[in-house]
A and B are shown apart, each in its own frame.
Chain A
Amino acid sequence: MGLSNASEDLSSEMEVDAFRRLFPLRYFERHLAESIRPDGRPLGKARETSIFLGAVASANGSALVKIGSTTMLTAIKMEVMTPSLESPDEGCLAIDFHMPPICSPIVRPGRPAEASPVVSKQLSDTISSSRMIDLKELSLVGGKAAWMAYLNAAFSIMQDIYCLDADGALFDAALISAVAALSHLQIPAVAMNDDGKIVLVSGEDGQKPVNKEKRKLTLRSIPFSLTCILHKNYILADPTAEEESIMETHVTIVLDTSGQLISLYKPGGPALAYTSAIQDCVGLTGQRVKELKSYLDKENSAMEVVV
């Protein structure tokens, strides 16, 4: 009796796995008809999200973000540059998104993954469109000291985002990670040495201080995003890699904390994006923004307590 029961259970489990592998679309649609997903989530719910600031000790700002299994590590290094002639009183922000081969079976060493430049461009556009950062704040011009008149320098924020585990919704995780790292960023105290170069303040003679202490960057309205899948009459929020590969219509909506639409990205797909569907996605994204804002505030408060 025990043996037959065990074999029955095992065979039914194997049947489910086989069905999932052979007929993935029908497998998912069976779940959708019951308003649930294979991992047990309701349709409009995002996966568990965690934010950890200060993951990289040598960086000026860093953050590790996980949404479900998707993991993003962001680190920021501050560098010094000569501003361009068009905008002499502004610094700049450069964002690079990397998908190393450790994060997914389909990424190979050598040439960058297909998704990498797409996400990179999306991130740059989103952060510049949202005007989250005032680039003038990065300038090192305009001090009161007389010798400062000769100074022509500005900070450059070099931000690198590494995907450590790719399990869907890469842009969402990358954006949260980038934003969290910028909120953790400490602009270092720098001085000008005798050669006219900018160096870190180390208390040596011959240094003229440019800014006297470390300070945080002022962030204006912060953008957050949510990716949804449109499939027939269903809307699935925060898809996994498996869901993304099976269902083809993705919509990514970015809102900032003041409720303004920053970006809407829909790269093709067979399902038509009716107004009602887009409005539903915007609604889901609005809820997600509030949720993520509270996570980020909580994490920043914890950091301040520690410091």
Chain B
Amino acid sequence: MAGKGGATPATYSPSPTTNRKKKPPIFKEDWVRPDGRGFHQCRPAFFRTGAVNAASGSAYAEFGNTKVIVSVFGPRESKKAMMYSDIGRLNCNVSFTTFATPIRGQGSDHKEYCAMLHKALEGAIILETFPKTTVDVFALVLESSGSDLPVVISCASLALADAGIMMYDIVASVSVSCFNKNLVIDPILEEEIGQDGSLMITCMPSRYEITQLTVTGEWSTTKINEGMQLCLDACAKLAKIMRSCLKEVASDSQE
């Protein structure tokens, strides 16, 4: 019995075929997105707060098949090793489930996501309201289907609101992919694999301020401007959905 349970032999996943890993065909005029969306159309967004009872605040988000759950703990005592700080601290962590990607355990090492989430939220939180303490934001990606980080950021800002952390504005995030000279918003996994470049914007829509801008690949100035405008418009719409989600919870609790 112990022998069987011991060392698990090496395994591999019976994936469809190796050929599918090739780059999808280059963008053509008659090209249609795999899920039938228009180029400037986002996936349907679903948000719910209060997903985790044990947390001070939490939120669950779905963008198509990308599913994310975020918990916020605190403000609570900082670790003793940390130096005194007269403003609050923000601590972020993003992790993936082993089954988040089609191949088990693959592609779940995104260590830079923690730092990017931290930078995205830091500018929106009023840190002076909780001196000496720490707010922990933990995110878990349950299913990964492209554009994971923007979903994590949007969901995290909703979780912070659920926890009652004071913020200047909610934070919405959207990304766009570049194929040659054409822009595709909110890309799914298949589109991300074959993209030439990507651009992600995190902003506070009411204040029209950007907390984070990430560009990869080669972009011309006009293309960046076009991409930014596309994302900002999408963020404004996303923020409306997020606000209505928070209002629903508020009205429910009043009843």
User: Which A residues contact B (CB, under 8 angstroms)?
Assistant: 56-59, 62, 69, 71, 73, 75, 77-84, 86-87, 90, 92, 94, 96, 98, 100-105, 109, 124, 128, 156, 158, 160, 162, 164-167, 188, 190, 193, 197-200, 202, 204, 241
Q: Nearest Cβ in chain A — how far from B231, in angstroms?
A: 27
Q: Which residues of B contact A86 (CB under 8 A)?
A: 3-4
Shortest beta-carbon distance from B15 to chain A in Å: 7
Q: What are 14 A-to-B residue pairs whose CB atoms are below 8 Å?
A: A58-B143, A81-B11, A87-B4, A100-B95, A100-B138, A102-B140, A103-B71, A124-B5, A158-B11, A160-B99, A164-B69, A164-B140, A202-B16, A202-B17
Instruction: State whether B9 touches A199 (Cβ < 8 A).
Output: no
The answer to whether A79 and B1 touch across the interface, beta carbons within 8 angstroms, is no
Q: State whether A167 touches B140 (Cβ < 8 A).
A: no
Most buried by B among A102, A188, A190: A102
Which chain B residue has the least Cβ–Cβ distance from A193?
A: B17
Q: Which of B3, B99, B101: most chain A CB closer than 10 A?
A: B99
Q: How far is the CA of A96 from the CA of B9 in the complex (A)?
A: 15
Q: Chain A: which residue is nearest B7 at the CB level?
A: A84
User: In the complex, what residues of A have CB within 8 A of residue B167's CB?
Assistant: none
Q: Please provide the chain B residues from 92 to 115 with a CB less than 8 Å away from any CB of chain A in the complex.
A: 93, 95, 97-99, 101-102, 104
Residues of A within 8 A of B14 (CB): 78-80, 188, 190, 198-200
B51 CB-CB contact with A under 8 Å: yes
Q: Which 7 A-B pairs have the closest CB atoms?
A: A102-B71, A69-B53, A79-B11, A75-B99, A101-B138, A109-B93, A81-B11
Question: When the two chains form their complex, are residues B54 and A81 in contact, meaning their CB atoms are under 8 A apart?
Answer: no
Chain A residues near B93: list those with CB within 8 A.
101, 109
Number of A-B contacts (CB under 8 A): 128
Given contacts A56-B142, A109-B93, contact A79 B13 (CB under 8 A): yes
B12 on the A face (CB < 8 A): yes
Q: Report whether B53 and A158 are in contact in the complex, using a CB–CB cutoff of 8 Å.
A: no
Q: Quick check: A102 and B143 within 8 Å, CB to CB?
A: no
Pair B11/A56 contact, Cβ less than 8 Å: no
What residues of chain A lie closer than 8 Å to B3, measured between beta carbons? 84, 86
Count of B interface residues, CB-CB < 8 Å: 40
Q: Within 8 Å CB of A57, what residues of B?
A: 65, 143
Contact B54 A105 (CB under 8 A): yes
Q: Contacts A79-B13, A105-B55 known; A92 to B73 CB distance under 8 Å?
A: no
* CB-nearest residue of chain A to B98: A160
Q: Decide if B221 is an interface residue (CB 8 Å cutoff).
A: no
Q: Is B70 an interface residue (CB 8 A)?
A: yes
Complex partner residue of B54 from A69, A78, A92, A197, CB under 8 angstroms: A69
User: What is the 8 Å Cβ interface bit string for chain B, positions 64-79, against chain A (1 contact, 0 not)?
Assistant: 0100011101001000
**Cβ-neighbour of B4 out of A56, A73, A92, A158 (below 8 A):** A92
Q: How far is the CA of A158 from the CA of B13 in the complex (A)?
A: 10
Residues on B with C-beta less than 8 A from A78 are 13-14
B114 to chain A: closest residue by CB: A109
A105–B65 Cα distance when bound, in Å, is 28
Q: Is A102 in contact with B17, judged by CB distance below 8 angstroms?
A: no
Q: A105-B73, A198-B14 are in contact. Are A160 and B65 (CB under 8 A)?
A: no
A167 contacts B15, C-beta separation under 8 Å:
no
B72 to chain A, nearest CB (A): 9
* CB <8 Å contact, A164 and B51: yes
CA distance A241 to B53 in the complex (A): 11
Q: Is the CB of A199 within 8 A of B1?
A: no
Q: Chain A contacts of B11 at CB under 8 A?
A: 79-81, 156, 158
Residues A77 and B9 in contact, CB atoms below 8 Å apart: no
Contact A77:B99 (CB < 8 A) given known A102-B58, A166-B54, A202-B17 = yes
Residues of chain A contacted by B97 (CB below 8 angstroms): 73, 75, 98, 160, 162
Residues on B with beta carbons closer than 8 Å to the beta carbon of A105: 54-55, 73, 76
In the docked arrangement, what's the CA distance between A111 and B59, Å?
Answer: 24
The one of B4, B12, B16, B102 in contact with A80, judged by C-beta atoms closer than 8 angstroms, is B12
In the complex the two chains form, is A109's CB within 8 Å of B95's CB?
yes
> B98 — which chain A residues lie within 8 A by C-beta?
77, 96, 98, 158, 160
B52 within 8 A of A: yes
Query: Would A102 and B55 be within 8 Å (CB), given that A58-B99, A160-B98 are in contact?
Result: yes
Alpha-carbon gap, A93 to B73, bound state (A):
35
Whether, in the assembled complex, B169 has its beta carbon less than 8 Å from a beta carbon of chain A, the answer is no
Q: Which residues of the partner chain A approach B214 to less than 8 Å between Cβ atoms?
A: none
Residue of A nearest to B100 (CB): A58
**A92 proximity list for chain B (CB < 8 A):** 4, 8-9
The answer to whether A128 and B95 touch (CB under 8 A), given A102-B55, A158-B11, is no
B122: min CB distance to chain A, Å: 18
CB of B81 closer than 8 Å to a CB of A: no
B139 CB-CB contact with A under 8 Å? yes
Chain B 135-158 residues near chain A, CB threshold 8 A: 136, 138-140, 142-143
Interface centre among A58, A167, A198 (most CB of B within 10 A): A58
Task: Tell me the bound Cα distance from A79 to B98 in angstroms.
Answer: 13
Closest to B9 in A: A81
Residue of B whose beta carbon sits closest to that of A165: B52
Apart from A102-B139, A104-B54, A193-B17: 6 A-B pairs, beta carbons within 8 A? A71-B52, A77-B98, A81-B10, A98-B98, A102-B138, A105-B54
